[in-house]
């Protein structure tokens, strides 16, 4: 059974290995959401905004525009253009996403 004692170490594993490098597919969707939400919280505290956003996405949380737009701007400033393009797509701005991909991402 999944409880607080097992979720904590899983959150630490996600943070240590990276959001995309951990397979939690055998766990119930609700537990996965808890793990990635807590990992996102810790990653934000560590200043790892891109990784925190990835964790939130793995947790299937839809963030509002007023949260995502500053992250997209940060991504553009730090040359993370593909991430910025994905955010703009999610916000319903495919023109900006296409512009970023056409002008700033590697092909």
Q: How do the pLDDT tens digits run along the chain, 107 residues long? A: 677 788 999 999 999 999 989 999 999 988 998 899 899 889 988 988 888 888 887 877 667 888 788 888 988 998 989 888 988 988 899 999 999 999 998 76
Looking at the structure, do residues 19 and 44 belong to the same domain, yes or no? yes
Domain that holds residue 99: 62-107
Say yes or no: 91 and 48 in one domain.
Answer: no
Domain count, the chain: 2
One domain, residues 46 and 19: yes
Domain shared by 10 and 51, yes or no: yes
> How does DSSP assign 51-74, residue by residue?
HHHHHHHHTT----HHHHHHHHHH
Are residues 69 and 55 part of one domain? Answer: no
Those residues whose C-beta lies under 8 Å from the C-beta of residue 17, and which sit 6 or more positions away, are: none
Same domain, 4 and 15: yes
Q: Which two tokens mark 42?
A: 């810790």
d(CA 21, CA 34): 17
Clarify whether residues 53 and 16 are in a common domain: yes
């Amino acid at each position: 059974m999944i409880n607080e004692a097992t979720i904590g170490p899983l959150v630490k594993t996600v943070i240590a290995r990276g959001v995309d490098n951990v397979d939690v597919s055998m766990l119930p969707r609700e537990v996965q959401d808890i793990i990635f939400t807590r990992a996102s919280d810790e990653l934000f505290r560590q200043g790892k905004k891109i990784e925190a956003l990835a964790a939130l996405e793995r947790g299937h949380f839809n963030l509002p525009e007023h949260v995502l737009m500053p992250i997209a701007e940060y991504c553009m400033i730090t040359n993370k253009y593909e991430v910025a393009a994905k955010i703009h797509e999610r916000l319903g701005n495919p023109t900006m996403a296409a512009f970023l991909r056409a002008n700033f991402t590697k092909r």
